[in-house]
Structure 1
């Protein structure tokens, strides 16, 4: 109990964010040996190592990961308590991808800010968002495509069809919708091979017996749709993405809807219900 009530716990919370003694010591305005001693004392009092070498860097042990979440949660609760006493808004940290912030939860984020919350944004892909939430560095994570892992609480907040974006005037734009067969021979602007969207689309096209014709590999919906407008090719994107001028979006009938989830730690029973309400897309 004494160890968990010491300022060593606060120091460890900062160290766990950086996983670098020099950077953490600078933030805490401590000498590096002093920070090292605080963490070492905390580890001895708890009877377990809290971090270990990982090549040229450092990583938390399983006990260190649990303590990091506990420490960061204590810091968050203390800040929120003081904010409430002072009549100031409590903070909220959301981890999500650039496209998710822009195309899916942008209006929800605006609603949260307008409701008086102090918002912190962490740009993260699916795996990074899960890690940020699990470690307590983010209150909520939002991502699409694959379902959330079972160790996190979650709720579906949005669902969109997949659409084919084409330059205005392309023959396919005369159709109300299309199928994967219509993509045969069509030059496509695709995400890099490691992206889940690329992998899922490649599998769907393979199952439909359609070979991929790659016009260019492009990272990000914004640039992809811009290239469509320039006439460089067509693109399959989530239906939440707005078509730029001179671009037409057609639903693809035989592709599944893309689902988006909000996730949080099950222990976060104090997560205000209005947060999920704002993030849910009608």
Structure 2
């Protein structure tokens, strides 16, 4: 029996592994116990708590609301045990797990991650869209998430860490490239490289252009700021991105009047505030 076993109830540790995989066979294998034994542990835990912890949807297992809360608690307990044991052994600070989209990781928080890494802090990254990043935080799989646009809900703590103007990206030879600023009406008739339908940035852009009476054509649909800019560099069409996005030679970024700034939020559960404090300090004030 190691230190972690002493610090954690066996049933709670087993449920944490099950909640991570949502699969009895995989969880039992990781725990080095039989599948029937794992069933018994979780059934006894549910009985003791007086709640259902999971339900079946065909072959798929999903956690109930109570199961989600217990999973987050179990993962917190597991991490706190690991952190305490590292302190006893005089090891480095615990690994910080961050969930964020590709664009945020590259252009919004990339430098902050680099700085905290130079301080000796290990960082584990989960690449995820907004919904998946928030789910990773609420489930306990991530310590902190970075999401764009609207602030997260009240079940988590959050702080705005950045805000960027939206810019029109096009070839340096285009007539609009010499402007200090363009209006939405100036985009009339343009071929645009845009995210796929349904993405938050695409929905907001569709709505703004429609309200302004702008006629435009879809030149290509790709996911991610880097691919939007890449296709613009290939001459496929102009694109609209956040002002933080780096551009290759031959492209110009012109601020767009009439589109709101895109805000970025760091969000975490209150229980993980001590773990994420160092990274929050690196973000500094809102940009």
Give the shorter-chain TM-score range: over 0.9
Aligned residue in 2 for 1:58: 61
* Residue correspondence of structure 1 range 13-32 to structure 2 within 5 A: 13-32=16-35
Alignment-derived partner of residue 231 in structure 1: 235
Larger displacement relative to structure 2 (69-78 or 120-129):
120-129
Q: Residue 92 of structure 1 is aligned with which of 81, 92, 96?
A: 96
Aligned: 1:41 with 2:20? no
What is the total number of aligned residue pairs between the two structures?
A: 279
Unaligned 5+ segments in structure 2 are: 1-6
* Structure 1: tracts of 5 or more residues without a match: none
Q: Which of 211, 214, 218 is residue 210 of structure 1 equivalent to? A: 214
Q: Is the 8 A contact 1:215 1:233 kept in 2?
A: yes
Q: Superposition pairs for residues 157-236 of structure 1, below 5 Å? A: 157-236=161-240
Deviates more, 1:70-79 or 1:51-60: 51-60
Partner Cα distance (1:43, 1:5) in 2? 17
SS in 2 for 1:201: helix
Asked if 1:122 corresponds to 2:109, the answer is: no
* Residue 107 (structure 2) aligns with: 103
TM-score normalised by structure 2 residue count: 0.93
| Residue 150 of structure 1: aligned partner | 154
Of 231, 234, 244, the residue aligned with 2:248 is 244
1:276 Cα deviation (Å)?
0.4
State how far apart, in whole Å, the 1-side matches of 2:76 and 2:17 are: 12
Distance 1:212 1:147 in 2: 30
Secondary structure class of the residue paired with 1:204: helix
| 2:10 alignment counterpart | 7
Q: Distance in 2 between matches of 1:106 and 1:99?
A: 9
Q: Matches of 2:9 and 2:151 in 1, distance apart?
A: 39
CA distance in 2, matches of 1:188, 1:245: 19
Aligned 8 A contact 2:96 2:276 in 1: no
The residue that corresponds to 1:268 in the other structure is 272
**How far has the Cα of 1:252 moved from its partner?**
0.6
Query: What whole-Å deviation, never above 9, does each CA across 1:144-194 have from its counterpart, x for those lacking one?
Result: 112211221110000101001001211111111111111100000010011
Kept after mapping to 2: 8 A contact 1:109/1:279 = no
Which aligned segments of 4 or more residues in structure 1 are displaced greater than 3 angstroms?
A: 279-282
Deviation at 1:86, TM superposition (A): 1.7
How far residue 25 of structure 1 moved from its aligned partner, in angstroms, is: 1.4
Report if aligned partners of 2:113, 2:279 keep a CA contact under 8 Å in 1: no
Compute the RMSD of aligned alpha carbons.
Answer: 1.5
Query: Could you report, residue by residue, the CA deviation over 1:63-115 in whole angstroms, capped at 9, with x for unpaired residues?
Result: 21111111100001011111122222212111111111011100011112112
Mapped to 1, the partners of 2:228 and 2:88 lie a distance apart of 47
Q: TM-score, normalised by structure 1?
A: 0.95
